[in-house]
Amino acid sequence: MALKKRQKLILAALVELGGEATTRQIAKKVNLHVNGVSQSLSAIKGVECLGGRGGEMTWKLIRVA
């Protein structure tokens, strides 16, 4: 399934932030609310949650085989 416009924006921000960032860092970069960014990230294949709580949850871009 193709990514939605919002997911593409968030994914691009994660890439620009070096492939690993907190929800808060990504939300600030794309000017969106932390909760919405978290929901979008959890729906994107190829992104892994490394742990944390709330806005300090860390996400990492992974390679999909």
Q: What is the pLDDT of residues 30-62, one digit of tens each?
A: 999 999 999 999 999 999 999 999 899 999 999
Q: Total structural domains in the chain? A: 1
Range of the domain at 27: 1-46
The H or E element containing residue 12 is helix 5-16
Within-domain flag for 17: yes
Whole-prediction pTM: 0.90
Report yes or no on 1 lying in a domain: yes
For residue 35, being part of any structural domain is answered with yes
CA dihedral 22, 11, 2, 39 (to 10 degrees): 20
pLDDT, tens digit, for every residue of 5-21?
999 999 999 999 999 99
